[in-house]
Amino acid sequence: MIIPLERRPGSPPVHRQLVDYLRRSIEAGRVPPGARLPAIRDLARSLGVNRETVASAYRQLGELGLAESGVGRGTFAVAPSRRRTSDGKDHRESRFAPALSRGAAAASSLPALDYAAPPGAVRLERLVPDPALYPLDGYRRALESALRDEGTALLEYGDPRGHEGMRLVLVERLAHAGIEADPDEVLVTGGSTQALALAARAFCDPGDAVAVESPTYPGLLATLVSLGLRPVAVPLGADGLDLDALDRVLASAGIRLVCTMPTFQNPTGVTTTLEHRRRLLAIVSRHGVPVLEDEFQKDLRFHDRDVPSLRALDRSGQVTYVGTFSKALFPGPRVGWLVAAPPVAEAATALKRAMDLASSPLAQAAVASFCRSGGYDRHLRRMTRELAARHARAAAACERHLPRGAVVTRPEGGLAVWVTLPEPLDAMALLPEAKRHGVVYSPGMLFFPDRRRSSSLRLVVGAAAPEQIERAVRALGDAARAALSRLRRPRPAGVERAGIHV
């Protein structure tokens, strides 16, 4: 055990320093209850102090109730309890109370749910693919190929813009989607969340307002508030962002940026039409406000034909485009990207350099190698077949098991569906009972900027096998019907609802 001791004139006595250090370690759990403390002789030798100094410190720990000794057994830590001195004050030292920034405090205040569930519960709350679909062997070969070809260069910091091979792969794949971009307009990021943060910082200062869809991705809301920005909700309809409402917000709220997910929107799964996208571009062009387009699930289409992205339709450079491999491949490499007009891309690159220097060259080179080998496209073909089957299973299960009046979206791609249960159900209040029945989901309240009560919830059907989906939806239906039965049960005659009557 290494214990820092001060031996300069005026320093506290060594045995006092020993007591204080060991007390803090035991109270903080760094030395767990029952752990054996070093033998007196050994600790004295390693610290260069007299054995009686260590013995005295151990005796004082025993008097404080933090250690116990036995002849021939040694000295052991004891779980701390709150101890008060004769004046009734807590004996433990006061801890430094930091004054957090407003952004950190705002991010910390966002809801953090306890998703712990009984063993065997089907986990449909995380927007990630089923690990059974991860192309582990193909990616391992790509990783080995990248290391063989580029060697130790991949273990350096790398270019802040991203690995050159990765950016070239992205330029080629974007071109197939109708997005024209030069390598200098592409920035590789640590997933799409970092890309969202960089774009928001490039366009906005603390206190600025950002238009967001309602409901929307909770990670976007957390990113914005951590940067000191104000999310302004724009309602989402069955066909996407309410464009009339957007027009009004842009005319009156001093918006600096519009964030939208026009393809397989999170959480609803809605994909907007070509006409909707063209009208959105016309509105933001008239107001002169930049757009941040997040197409994080674009590669996961299993039904109908692709719709050109806003970035592909944009001819003025007003749209900054964000994507990621985290949903179609797997999240571990944290490879996302941002495509923007040169001044925006340069600013985002400078911000990224200041943030983390560069994303992992090794992870980028492996993903690039996987794409060049054809492995990624083969994986996508398998992935979209699986998603189509799982969505079909989920739709049929919802029709069979959910209570009458429930509404479920039917996305053309992506990992999730948005379920709206009948009123007066509250998806947040229902979650504990649903977990007991055997399913975990994300309640709708998380996705609204104002944290409103919601009977909606998100089910990530791409995260589970078909038979698990059936079991999960049945469990959700059982929990919902039980809750509805309680909520709709007539009250006994003469019993009024508690409240204030005017």
Per-residue pLDDT at 353: 97
In this structure, of 49-63, 145-159, 246-260, 369-383, the range with the lowest mean pLDDT score is 49-63
Query: Percentage of the chain surpassing pLDDT 70?
Result: 94
pLDDT in tens, 302-343: 998 999 999 999 999 999 999 999 999 999 999 999 999 999
CA distance 494 to 324: 59
pLDDT in tens, 6-56: 888 888 888 899 999 999 888 888 889 989 999 999 998 888 899 999 999
Q: In Å, how far from its chain's centre is CA 91?
A: 39
pLDDT in tens, 427-466: 999 999 999 999 999 999 999 999 999 999 999 999 999 9
CA distance 201 to 480: 42
Q: Could you please report the per-residue DSSP string of 72-122?
A: TTEEEE------B-TTS-B-SPPPP-----HHHHHHHTS--------TT-E
Q: Where are the domains of the chain?
A: 14-77, 112-127+377-487, 135-373
Q: Which CATH superfamily is domain 112-127+377-487 in?
A: Aspartate Aminotransferase, domain 1 (3.90.1150.10)
Cβ-Cβ contacts under 8 Å for 228 (sequence gap 6 or more): 102, 103, 106, 206, 207
Strand order in the sheet with 186-189: 186-189, 336-339, 319-324, 291-294, 255-260, 209-214, 230-237, 240-241
> What is the pTM for the complete model shown?
0.82
CA distance 415 to 130: 10
How close are the terminal C-alpha atoms of the chain, in Å? 69
Confidence of residue 495 (pLDDT cuts 50, 70, 90): very low
CA distance 158 to 162: 7
Which residues does residue 36 pair with via DSSP β-bridges, in sequence order? 76
Mean pLDDT of 366-395: 97
Task: Return the structure tokens found at 453.
Answer: 């009560």
> In CATH terms, is domain 14-77 a member of 3.40.47.10?
no
Q: H helices of 361-405, where? A: 361-372, 375-401
Q: Could you tell me the CA-to-CA distances from 274 to 306, 307, 413 in Å, in that order? A: 10, 6, 16
Determine if the peptide bond prior to 449 is cis (ω within 30°). Answer: no
**The domain 135-373: what is its CATH number?**
3.40.640.10
Residue with tokens 């190698």: 369
pLDDT in tens, 278-288: 999 999 999 99
CA dihedral 458, 225, 112, 195 (to 10 degrees): 60
Q: In Å, how far from its chain's centre is CA 317?
A: 29
Strand pairing of 255-260 and 240-241? unpaired
Mean pLDDT of 247-253: 94
Residue 489 has pLDDT above 80, yes or no: no
Cβ neighbour number for residue 293 with a 10 Å cutoff: 24
Confidence of residue 109 (pLDDT cuts 50, 70, 90): confident
Which of 406, 409, 445, 433 lies closest to 422, judged by CA? Answer: 406
Q: pLDDT averaged over the chain?
A: 92
